[in-house]
Copies of this chain bind each other. A is one copy, B any other.
Amino acid sequence: MAQTDTPPRSDRRARRRQETIEEILDIAEDVMTEEGVNGLSLAEVARRLGVQPPSIYKYFPSLMAIYDSLFLRGQLEHLDVMRQAMAGAECGLGALTAGLEASGRWALANRAIAQLMFWRPVPSFAPSAEAFAPSVEMVALQRAAMAEAVCAGQLGPEADSDEAICLVSTLLVGVLSQSMANEPDLEWGQGRFTPTFPKLMKLLVAAYPRPASGSKSGSDVR
């Protein structure tokens, strides 16, 4: 158990190293934002860090490893943003809406990472299982919120399904794709596309009407 209790020297070194790693990832994100997700290069990162390319290999074994770390960091950040947004809203439909809106806002504020995560524009890169893991948790969050919405009578029982999850993610991804491709400088809430998201959510509610107690009203669009 030697060295377990606050060894000052190696602790500082480890912290400094971690800072450098984060700095490399920050720079990599900048490069991707400017040159496109595919435009990321070790050499350019080194240049901006004020270091020679071989030095990068002391922190990452390869370019793909940088992509993977960016992917993981993005997933964790995105999951956190969504979780907090959902926690700050009412249960069920409110949480779902808040979570999706926060997700969209984050994606537009972190386009490069979002594209890496959700559009897969680098054919030679496949995320590791570790990097992908948070995504599973995110789906679970959404699924839980939809189940709550069903319990609370805000949505019909069919909303607690894989199909409904697909549908809701498709709506968000559609808005984000259109915004990123056609309005590359606008953030969430601006432009022609992202403001339509609340309307799309209302459509979703219309798609899964709660069974009316007694009569058979509600537009059946399924």
Take A174-B171, A175-B174 as given contacts and tell me if A219 and B199 are in contact as well, using a CB distance cutoff of 8 Å: no
> What B residues does A38 contact at CB under 8 A?
36, 38-39, 121
Chain A positions 146-185 with a Cβ under 8 Å from a chain B Cβ: 162-163, 166-167, 169-175, 177-178, 181, 184
In whole angstroms, how far apart are the Cα atoms of A38 and B119 in the complex?
A: 14
- A63 to chain B minimum Cβ distance, whole angstroms, is 14
A contact patch SS: helix
Number of copies: 2
Q: Interface residue count for A (Cβ, 8 Å)?
A: 43
Task: Judge whether A170 and B196 touch: CB under 8 Å.
Answer: yes
B219 touches A192 (CB 8 A): no
CB pair A196 B120 closer than 8 Å: no
Q: Which residues of B contact A174 (CB under 8 A)?
A: 170-175, 177
Q: 14 extra interchain contacts, Cβ-Cβ under 8 A, other than A167-B199, A199-B221, A206-B207?
A: A36-B123, A37-B121, A38-B121, A119-B119, A120-B184, A163-B196, A171-B174, A173-B178, A177-B177, A199-B207, A206-B206, A206-B219, A206-B221, A218-B219
